[in-house]
Chain A
Amino acid sequence: MATVLLAEDDTAIAQPLARALEREGYEVVVRTDGVSALQAALSGNVDLLVLDLGLPRADGLEVARRLRAAGSALPVLMLTARRDEVDFVVGLDAGADDYVGKPFRLAELLARVRALLRRRYSADLAASGVRLELASHRAYCDGEEVHLTNKEYALLRLLLEHAGDVVTRQDAAEHVWGDPEMAGSKTLDMHISWLRRKLGDPAQAPRKLVTVRGVGFRFERG
């Protein structure tokens, strides 16, 4: 079974979180400062790092940067009480793969842990000549790098994760904007059309990113 390294200095959070992870069947290793967390992460004996941002001795961002600088591809799920959008960007730039703001629901955190572990053993997301390199946050279309905004990237990732299946407008609105109200807005349609343009998919007769009338969108497996 997978081993999860939990780097969290607040025992009131570390204890129940470790219990929850153990209930899911993971082996859990807890570290309470940045330096020892980095050592454990580099030991090669763990499959995933759940990394709190506010660690003593070296904060979470610094741990992620040093981990990546050391060439490690260990999946990192960052936990933080700073939930502004810019904090997400800074966290991903530092090398985190995903990000959960405090407080969170356990179900959400566990789902992300599962997704990251699944991804660790699967290739990058790809369909119809479009490939997302998740670790580096880059997108490629027919081998050429495509520059996407954060929202476009998140939307494309969601579509690729469900390649071949319909992603409803509600799902897209919730995942990408965190706001179900966006399902009815033009913003979603604009992002879809920007994605099509960047991926060279003709808007009149799209072959990759298809609109499913009245439901949502589907990214063809191709």
Chain B
Amino acid sequence: MRRRILVSTLTAVLLAVGILVVPLLLLVHRYVVDGGRLWAAGLIVVLAVVAVVVAMVVAARRARETVRPLAELAADAARLAAGDLGPTGRRYVAEELDDLADALDSAAIRLGELVRRERQLAADVSHQLRSRLTALSMRLEEVAAVADPAVRAEAEAALDQVDRMVHIVDELLDQARTERAHNAVEIDMAEQLSALRTDWDDAFRLSGRQLHLDAPDGDLGPGLRARATPGHVAQVLGVLIENALQHGAGAVTVAARAHGEHVVVEVRDEGVGVPDPLVPLVFDRGVSGGDGTGIGLSVAGALVEADSGRLELRSAHPAVFAVYLPRISAD
């Protein structure tokens, strides 16, 4: 893109200069007396070269300025494709670019909302089916406990059917989960955490607060690795950090560690924590975040679940959020 702008500018400038210089040189040849001819021709050529150089410098600068927002938008689109569903809120002077940025932001918000709804539906279906099957199976077991052997046999047969239905539900949910997590790849947690430093340094400096990162490497060999969709982890940690900046106080600590077959990342601050009446509601839609700059805790939770993980409020006072992700173990 940048190169194309440069080439077209160069072509235009060379044409313009050529159109001016060739007739000028002919005029010089025709009308200037012998003594000044070489001198005048030289001056014209030097001026032409200066004009081309100046035009190229200006063109290069303009090309950079024109391309920068496009490159940013392309990067935003790539992040969106990789599963980072946070609207950027980025705006430019050019109307067309703002339209594009708007479209990307609303696509991100809608995708996040879709993921959240899909997770909610899967959780509801699973919960409802399993609860009803539990109630059914317990009543059948009561029937099976009566003395009459014929009744008992029938109840046992019905219980077998319940077991098969449970198996089917499990399989369907498993299948859905595998499809959801198809973008998941191996993620190096130390890298993720150090990227937070770059992303959040300015915000912390502005608010006069501190960000502590704690990723153990020593005893974990090649490093702590999780399986997750690229973009999701940074996104979710971003929501938690922003939440701590907005509602918490003091230093914010992000710590990752191995926990059996999972990786747990905790985000905590030194404030008073989540008010008690709000505790059961923090992951409900519309309760936190989602004000246009972030995706909110409800979508963050859905993103983690889409990668077969969980987002939990581990402690309310002070607020400690824990992200559980499947761990890729070194053994």
Using Cβ atoms and an 8 Å threshold, which residues of chain B touch A123?
Answer: none
Contact status of A13 and B324, CB under 8 A, knowing A62-B280, A86-B262, A93-B314: no
Compute the total of residue contacts between A and B using a CB distance below 8 Å: 91
Cα(A93)–Cα(B133), bound, Å: 27
The 8 Å CB contact of B130, one of A59, A62, A102, is A102
- Contacts A62-B280, A65-B315, A86-B262 given; indicate if A16 touches B139 (C-beta within 8 A): yes
A61 close to chain B: CB less than 8 A: yes
Among B134, B309, B331, the most chain A Cβ lie within 10 Å of the Cβ of B134
Contact of A2 with B by CB under 8 A: no
Query: How far does the Cβ of B118 sit from chain A's closest Cβ, in whole Å?
Result: 16
Q: Of A76-84, A126-134, A162-170, A204-212, which binds chain B?
A: A76-84
Known: A16-B135, A58-B279, A58-B280. A103 touches B166 (CB 8 A): yes
**Residue A174, interface by CB 8 Å:** no
Q: Is the CB of A20 within 8 A of B138?
A: yes
For A81, list chain B residues within 8 Å (CB): 126-127, 130-131, 134
Which of B135, B177, B315 counts the most A-chain CB atoms under 10 A from its CB?
Answer: B135
Q: Which residues of A contact B262 (CB under 8 A)?
A: 86, 89
For chain B, residues 112 to 158, give those with C-beta under 8 angstroms from any C-beta of chain A: 123, 126-127, 130-139, 141-142
- The answer to whether B260 and A149 have CB atoms under 8 Å apart is yes
Task: Count B-side interface residues using an 8 Å CB cutoff.
Answer: 36
- A46 to chain B: closest CB distance in Å? 22
Q: Which residues of B contact A86 (CB under 8 A)?
A: 262, 308-310, 324, 326
Partner of A149, one of B261, B309, B310: B261
Residues of B249-285 contacting chain A, CB below 8 A: 259-262, 279-280
| Given known A58-B280, A86-B309, A89-B262, contact A105–B314 (CB-CB < 8 A) | no
Q: Which residues of B contact A87 (CB under 8 A)?
A: 310
The size of the chain A interface, using a CB distance under 8 A, is 38
Bound state CA distance, A80 and B321, in angstroms? 21
In the bound complex, residues from chain A placing their C-beta under 8 Å from that of B328 are none
**Cα–Cα distance between A17 and B127 once the two chains are bound (Å):** 18
Residue of A whose beta carbon sits closest to that of B317: A69
State which residues 131-163 of A face B: CB under 8 Å.
148-151, 153
| Pairwise interchain contact B137-A103, C-beta atoms closer than 8 A | yes
Nearest-neighbour CB distance to chain A for B158, whole angstroms, equals 13
The complex places the Cα of A153 from the Cα of B315 at a distance, in Å, of: 25
B312 within 8 A of A: yes
Task: Determine if B170 is an interface residue (Cβ-Cβ < 8 Å).
Answer: yes
A85 an interface residue at 8 Å Cβ cutoff? yes
Using Cβ atoms and an 8 Å threshold, which residues of chain A touch B315? 65
Taken residue by residue from 282 to 326, chain B's Cβ proximity to chain A (1 for < 8 Å, 0 otherwise) reads as: 000000000000000000000000001110101100000010101
Q: Which residues of the partner chain B approach A62 to less than 8 Å between Cβ atoms? A: 279-280
Residue of B nearest to A101 (CB): B130
Distance of B117 from chain A, by nearest CB (Å):
18
Say yes or no: A16 contacts B138, CB within 8 Å. yes
Is B60 among interface residues, defined by CB-CB distance under 8 A?
no
Question: Which residues of A does B touch, CB under 8 Å?
Answer: 10, 12-13, 16-17, 19-20, 34, 54, 57-59, 61-62, 65, 81-87, 89-90, 93-94, 101-106, 148-151, 153, 194
Residues of B within 8 A of A (CB): 123, 126-127, 130-139, 141-142, 162, 166, 170, 177, 259-262, 279-280, 308-310, 312, 314-315, 322, 324, 326, 329, 331
**Top 5 closest A-B pairs, CB basis?**
A12-B135, A81-B130, A150-B260, A103-B134, A16-B138
Beyond A93-B322, A150-B260, 16 extra complex contacts between A and B, CB < 8 Å:
A12-B131, A12-B135, A20-B138, A34-B280, A54-B127, A82-B123, A83-B130, A86-B308, A89-B259, A89-B262, A90-B310, A90-B324, A103-B130, A103-B138, A106-B141, A149-B329
